[in-house]
Amino acid sequence: MKSFLTPSYLTVSLMLCLFISSPVQAHFGMVIPDQSIINQDNKDTTITLSFSHPFENHTMNLSKPNRFFVAINGETQDLSNTLEKINLLNHTAWTSSYSFKRPGVYQFVMEPVPYWEPTEDVSIIHYTKTIIPAFGDDQGWDQPVGLPTEIVPLLRPFGNYAGNSFTGQVLVNGAPAPNVDVEVELYNPDSRYTAPSDYHVTQLVKTNKDGIFTFTCPLPGWWGFAALTEADYTLKDPDGKEKGVELGAVLWTYFHPLSSNN
């Protein structure tokens, strides 16, 4: 009997098997400060901007963001000129130093250059924010910044313990976004933790009819939430073809370990 397993067929089959056995890794825009809460003893922070697979500690090259700014009390300050290029795990990332002058709740926001991802055949734009309180102020953390898509926290996004449940609302063009996938990952920079399976690397939860989701963070550290939607426009791929755009509303928040005096 003649075999139908021609070399080309075998090649395609092997590629399909490799694709199926290797799930697509979740991408996260990252805005990670070295201080999650600012007090009188430490008024400065260095913020690292990257594009990564946070649990697996892999990075991609991040072009200089289109925008990087901080929002406080309804006002914004452009911080793009503070960005300095660095090498992070052999890829391009950026840092910014910021000195806090007055009490407030500061929302740091990165809008990146669209990133072409060939394995998903889409461009990716993650509007990423991190909220830092300074000098005891805790007002305004639940106010949207006005991004095309963003996560508005319904749990105060600072002063939380590992084991707390984070709740947020996903907005797209200012309106609640129902039935949206929200990917969740722990930032694991020192590879301290190992996932028992590929499914455990990226957790997944969906928003309800009001765009609200809840996730319990079991471990201390920085946790990222990426709510993914499809843009109503296309962008050209490297070959000049119009392709879809994945929009991510990304929020990072820190959960502290609970210490004991005993």
Quote the domain boundaries for residue 63: 25-256
What pTM, to 2 d.p., does this model score?
A: 0.90
Do the domain assignments include residue 99? yes
Write the CB contacts of 38 (distance below 8 Å, at least 6 apart in sequence).
Answer: 45, 100, 132, 133, 134, 135
Distance CA 30, CA 240 (A): 28
> How many domains are contained in the chain?
1
Do the domain assignments include residue 5? no
Contact 15, 21 (CB under 8 A): no
* Of 28, 34, 33, nearest in space to 185 by CA: 28
DSSP state letter for 20: H
Give the pLDDT confidence score for residue 17 in this predicted structure. 44
Do the domain assignments include residue 184? yes
Q: Which pLDDT band, with edges at 50, 70 and 90, does 4 fall under?
A: very low
Each residue's pLDDT tens digit, 41-89: 989 999 999 999 999 999 999 999 999 999 998 899 999 999 999 999 9
Do the domain assignments include residue 198? yes
CATH code where residue 225 lies: 2.60.40.10
Each residue's pLDDT tens digit, 92-144: 999 999 999 999 999 999 999 999 999 999 999 999 999 999 999 999 999 99
Q: Which pLDDT band, with edges at 50, 70 and 90, does 13 fall under?
A: very low
Each residue's pLDDT tens digit, 166-214: 999 999 999 999 999 999 999 999 999 999 999 999 999 999 999 999 9
